[in-house]
Chain A
């Protein structure tokens, strides 16, 4: 499955400035692994011991993955995966 992953400004130093990445993967976890393979600097920034850090939100086509199956959430063709900081609002 080919998906677009949107990278927030704060992480673009690790992607050489790229705001969007095209990767393959059947689940959110696989998609993120593909992203980390391409840009290794991202892994430690948003994960810790294999899990997402507590202030990282990931959305699949606008829907928070914590309302779905987390990293196991499956991806459909054409889905957009968005990584955003979870430290806004209130």
Chain B
């Protein structure tokens, strides 16, 4: 597939493939447009299967003329069947966990950043930057270091310590902004006008967002070239959610896979649920909120792709739900106890919504559900604190036995 232009998602105006992201006619978002004609599905499939062990195996669907590469190639993360989780939820659906914490900086953001940094280099930038809720900060700092580029990473100053430490270590210019993510994002939108930098999720956002499609492609490939019946994915800006849909659609259109779009269920935290609210109210726009949740990586009160996420959930017969902070903690624990996967708060949100769907009886027997776990539990340790107790004993057999007498006897 060859990349053609940038195209406005609202009015369709075309633009050159440079560092721009806003339509000058209607202020809508720009998206990468490709020319599908002339692609042979069988040939593409062979190219994919003979490709690298990561996202660049899908180069036909990424916004580069040639085949890009990078030293920290993300992707091909495990897709695991979670029978014990299904059992705990009391459903006969097939539950699969796509563990995207298994990326170089432990979140799905490595996918989008790998694409954005490769594009920044192609366009001749020497500095990359971003507005981040944490995971993106880690990824931008790391991929910039690997590529030998300078970087500026802007985050809310009150971010989890683990995410600050896992960013600063790469030698980036880490900027903690006294405000919430939406303040950081506004500042970066303004800075992108004056600084000659590649802001991965501002002026390079059309390319960056394309990286999320690789999660859809991998899912199909790992299911033996089959589509899931349903996906459950977290929603922050709504970009991942909508690009998963675009990824599945491209392969359907090309005949690489047969069937139809999965049902899309979005997951938000109750303390930051502009998309879930818009879905519930039947709105076409999202009313911004001031986030108040432990799921900081999803704490975007003014989601750029919110309207498209609502639209996609509706179109596929799915929905967007939200869960409380307590349900997020329970979701983290449920996943850990049944699969051995320790996810961050965003994953707790996603599993929390999966549980809600199960409780409402929405998961049919035999239905194949893929749950996207986008980040690593070690980055949000506070969420796990006080959710279990340690047994403290003296270093003696007596002490152990007195503590565990009942269990040993049994």
Task: Determine if B22 and A90 form an interchain contact, defined as CB atoms under 8 angstroms apart.
Answer: no
Task: Determine if A86 and B302 form an interchain contact, defined as CB atoms under 8 angstroms apart.
Answer: yes
Interchain CA distance A89-B286 in the complex, whole Å: 15
Query: In the complex, which residues of chain B have a beta carbon less than 8 angstroms from the beta carbon of A90?
Result: 201, 236-239, 300, 303-305
Q: Given A86-B304, A89-B304, A90-B300, does the pair A67, B288 have CB atoms closer than 8 Å?
A: yes
- Closest residue of B by beta carbon distance from A8: B193
Task: Determine if B189 and A88 form an interchain contact, defined as CB atoms under 8 angstroms apart.
Answer: yes
Stretch of B26-34, B56-64, B337-345, B352-360 on the interface side: B26-34
List residues of B (274-333) whose CB comes within 8 Å of A's CBs: 284-285, 287-288, 290, 300, 302-305, 307
* Cβ proximity bits A35-74 to B, threshold 8 Å, 1 near / 0 not: 0000000000110000001111101001010110000000
Interchain CA distance A11-B25 in the complex, whole Å: 8
Task: Determine if A59 and B186 form an interchain contact, defined as CB atoms under 8 angstroms apart.
Answer: yes
Contact of A88 among B28, B185, B288 (CB under 8 A): B185
Dominant secondary structure at the A interface = mixed
Task: Determine if A85 and B189 form an interchain contact, defined as CB atoms under 8 angstroms apart.
Answer: yes
Task: Determine if A85 and B287 form an interchain contact, defined as CB atoms under 8 angstroms apart.
Answer: no
Query: In the complex, which residues of chain B have a beta carbon less than 8 angstroms from the beta carbon of A88?
Result: 21, 131, 185, 188-189, 192, 199, 201-202, 205, 304
Task: Determine if A87 and B24 form an interchain contact, defined as CB atoms under 8 angstroms apart.
Answer: no
Count of chain A residues near B, Cβ 8 A: 25
Contact of B300 among A56, A59, A89 (CB under 8 A): A89
Query: In the complex, which residues of chain A have a beta carbon less than 8 angstroms from the beta carbon of B193?
Result: 8-9
Shortest Cβ distance from residue B267 to the other chain A in the assembled complex, whole angstroms: 15
Interface centre among A8, A13, A46 (most CB of B within 10 A): A8
Interchain CA distance A69-B166 in the complex, whole Å: 40
List residues of B (101-140) whose CB comes within 8 Å of A's CBs: 131
Query: In the complex, which residues of chain B have a beta carbon less than 8 angstroms from the beta carbon of A53?
Result: 10, 26-28
Query: In the complex, which residues of chain B have a beta carbon less than 8 angstroms from the beta carbon of A10?
Result: 20, 22-24, 27
Task: Determine if A87 and B302 form an interchain contact, defined as CB atoms under 8 angstroms apart.
Answer: no
Shortest Cβ distance from residue A56 to the other chain B in the assembled complex, whole angstroms: 5
Interchain CA distance A59-B304 in the complex, whole Å: 16
List residues of A (3-43) whose CB comes within 8 Å of B's CBs: 8-11, 13
- Closest residue of B by beta carbon distance from A84: B189
Contact of A64 among B27, B288, B303, B304 (CB under 8 A): B288
B158 interface residue per 8 A CB criterion: no
B162 interface residue per 8 A CB criterion: no
Count of chain B residues near A, Cβ 8 A: 42
Task: Determine if A66 and B288 form an interchain contact, defined as CB atoms under 8 angstroms apart.
Answer: yes
Contact of B29 among A11, A57, A59, A87 (CB under 8 A): A87
Q: Given A8-B193, A86-B304, A88-B304, does the pair A66, B28 have CB atoms closer than 8 Å?
A: no
Interface centre among B181, B199, B288 (most CB of A within 10 A): B288
- Closest residue of A by beta carbon distance from B194: A9
- Closest residue of A by beta carbon distance from B21: A87
Interchain CA distance A45-B24 in the complex, whole Å: 7
Interchain CA distance A57-B23 in the complex, whole Å: 14
B399 interface residue per 8 A CB criterion: no
B210 interface residue per 8 A CB criterion: no
B182 interface residue per 8 A CB criterion: yes
Contact of A84 among B10, B190, B305 (CB under 8 A): B190
Shortest Cβ distance from residue B28 to the other chain A in the assembled complex, whole angstroms: 5
Interface centre among A13, A54, A82, A88 (most CB of B within 10 A): A88
Contact of B24 among A11, A55, A59, A84 (CB under 8 A): A11
Task: Determine if B202 and A89 form an interchain contact, defined as CB atoms under 8 angstroms apart.
Answer: yes
- Closest residue of B by beta carbon distance from A10: B22
Contact of A87 among B28, B285, B290 (CB under 8 A): B28
- Closest residue of B by beta carbon distance from A83: B27
Shortest Cβ distance from residue A67 to the other chain B in the assembled complex, whole angstroms: 7
- Closest residue of A by beta carbon distance from B184: A89
B-side interface residues toward A, CB under 8 Å? 10, 20-30, 131, 181-183, 185-186, 188-190, 192-193, 199, 201-202, 205, 236-239, 284-285, 287-288, 290, 300, 302-305, 307
Extra 17 A-B pairs, beta carbons < 8 Å, given A57-B186, A88-B131:
A8-B22, A8-B193, A13-B24, A45-B24, A45-B26, A46-B27, A53-B10, A62-B186, A64-B182, A84-B186, A87-B22, A87-B28, A87-B29, A88-B304, A89-B131, A89-B185, A89-B202
Q: What 5 A-B pairs are tightest by C-beta distance, nearest first?
A: A90-B237, A87-B29, A89-B185, A85-B22, A88-B202
